[in-house]
């Protein structure tokens, strides 16, 4: 499906799951290299940047947090950009929410006639990346909120259920980091070539601003992973402490009841002359002795500070 947006003589063509005819038409219209056409119709591929004389190809893989059953996962969404002086082509094979949201903003700006500094397609690309990165920051903020929520539940005694929850959050951050890490190299490469690009040296500050946005995202990932690592360590410590307490209590119960079981076994030995068995109030006496023995063991543990 092809959607075309125009703004002040600049054309943005958005391709979603394009077919051969759509791509061939664009390759002819804008005189694109055949390899660029192949890139637009193939998915997935590695994130990269290729600079041509009249346009630049940028392939980005975006981490997108999506709900899966009762939890969240981070999936990769590839978007290919072909940026010319007065045209911008985006190609994707799956829905990207932030890109669709940007299309609505773009159309609204056109309808309302708002004054935006859009002199060439590079500016549209800049605002588009800013929108995509805003979505990534929002996903990371949601992950951080999940970490804070887990922290509150941990200190309310829900350590056992938090083990799986923290593991899922850690998996999300790992996937986020792995997918986004190559972006730094792309923006660095674009920054180094900005003076020789078709947009001129004036576009360099825009690339630097994108780099700063990515650095902020990288810091969010690093900070979230550090917080999560500390929280997992705390959760493991609390969980181990709770398990040790349970083991200690069970051991205490065993030590208390073992002597009582021994006493009961002694008085049930089938033999002649077993004391107290045939005496009046013998049963009550045996029970009383067992109670006294239980309290004696308990106070001995207290004296040793084992309980």
| 3-class DSSP string for the chain | CEEEEEECCEEEEEEECCCHHHHHHHHHHCCCCHHHHHHHCCCCCCCEEEECCCEEEEEEEEEEEEEECCEEEEEEEEEEEEEECCEEEEEECCCCHHHHHHHHHHHHHHHHCCCCCCCCHHHHHHHHHHHHHHHHHHHHHHHHHHHHHHHHHHCCCCHHHHHHHHHHHHHHHHHHHHHHCCHHHHHHHHHHCHHHCCCCHHHHHHHHHHHHHHHHHHHHHHHHHHHHHHHHHHHHHHHHHHHHHHHHHHHHHHHHHHHHHHHHHHHCCCCCCCCCCCCCCHHHHHHHHHHHHHHHHHHHHHHCCCC
pLDDT tens string 62-95: 888 888 777 788 888 888 888 888 888 888 888 7
Residue 206 has pLDDT above 70, yes or no: yes
Mean pLDDT for the stretch of residues 16-38? 83
Instruction: Return the pLDDT at 194.
Output: 65
Mean pLDDT for the stretch of residues 30-48? 77
∠ CA(193), CA(197), CA(203), 5° rounding?
Answer: 90
Q: How many Å apart are CA 200 and CA 123, to the nearest integer?
A: 12
Q: What are phi and psi of 115, to 5 degrees?
A: -85, 110
Q: Record the tokens describing residue 48, joined without a space.
A: 């990269």
Q: For the chain, what percent of residues have pLDDT higher than 90?
A: 0
Terminal alpha carbon distance of the chain:
71
Instruction: Return the pLDDT at 244.
Output: 76
Instruction: Return the pLDDT at 68.
Output: 78
Instruction: Return the pLDDT at 150.
Output: 83
pTM: 0.74
Least confident of 26-40, 188-202, 225-239: 188-202
- pLDDT: which is higher, 298 or 122: 122
Mean pLDDT across the chain:
80
Residue identified by tokens 């500070």 is 305
Q: For the chain, what percent of residues have pLDDT higher than 70?
A: 91
Residue identified by tokens 């402490």 is 241
- In 3D space, the residue among 81, 84, 124 whose CA is nearest the CA of residue 102 turns out to be 124
Q: How many Å apart are CA 266 and CA 269, to the nearest integer?
A: 6
CB distance 59 to 47 below 8 Å: yes
Question: Averaging pLDDT over each range in 34-48, 108-122, 130-144, which range is the top one?
Answer: 130-144
Mean pLDDT for the stretch of residues 238-264? 77
CB distance 109 to 116 below 8 Å: yes
Would you call 261 exposed, middle or buried from its count of C-beta atoms within 10 A (0-12, 13-18, 19+)? exposed
Instruction: Return the pLDDT at 112.
Output: 45
Residue 187 has pLDDT above 60, yes or no: yes
Residue 111 has pLDDT above 50, yes or no: no
pLDDT tens string 273-283: 667 667 777 77
**Sheet of strand 87-92: strand arrangement:** 2-7, 10-16, 87-92, 71-84, 55-68, 48-51
Instruction: Return the pLDDT at 109.
Output: 65
């Amino acid at each position: 499906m092809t959607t075309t947006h125009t703004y002040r003589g600049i054309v943005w063509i958005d391709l979603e799951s394009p077919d051969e005819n759509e791509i061939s038409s664009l390759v002819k219209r804008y005189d694109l290299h055949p390899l660029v056409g192949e890139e637009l119709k193939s998915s997935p591929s590695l994130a990269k940047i290729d600079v041509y004389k009249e346009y630049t190809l940028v392939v980005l893989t975006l981490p997108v947090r999506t709900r899966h059953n009762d939890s969240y996962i981070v999936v990769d969404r590839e978007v290919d950009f072909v940026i010319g002086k007065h045209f911008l082509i985006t190609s994707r094979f799956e829905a990207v929410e932030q890109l669709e949201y940007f299309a609505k903003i773009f159309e609204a700006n056109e309808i309302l006639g708002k004054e935006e500094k859009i002199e060439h397609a590079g500016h549209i690309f800049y605002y588009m990346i800013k929108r995509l990165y805003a979505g990534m920051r929002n996903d990371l903020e949601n992950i951080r909120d999940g970490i804070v929520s887990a922290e509150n539940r941990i200190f309310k005694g829900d350590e056992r259920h938090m083990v799986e929850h923290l593991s899922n959050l850690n998996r999300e951050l790992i996937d986020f980091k792995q997918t986004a890490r190559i972006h730094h190299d792309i923006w660095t490469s674009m920054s180094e070539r900005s003076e020789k690009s078709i947009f001129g040296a004036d576009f360099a500050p825009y690339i630097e601003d994108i780099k700063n946005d990515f650095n902020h995202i990288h810091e969010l990932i690093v900070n979230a992973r550090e917080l999560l690592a500390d929280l997992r360590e705390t959760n493991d410590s609390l969980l181990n402490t709770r398990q040790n307490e349970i083991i200690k209590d069970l051991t205490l119960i065993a030590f208390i009841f073992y002597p009582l079981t021994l006493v009961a076994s002694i008085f049930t030995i089938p033999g002649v002359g077993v004391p107290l068995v045939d005496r009046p109030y013998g049963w009550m006496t045996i029970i009383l002795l067992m109670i006294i023995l239980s309290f004696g063991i308990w106070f001995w543990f207290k004296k040793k500070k084992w309980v």
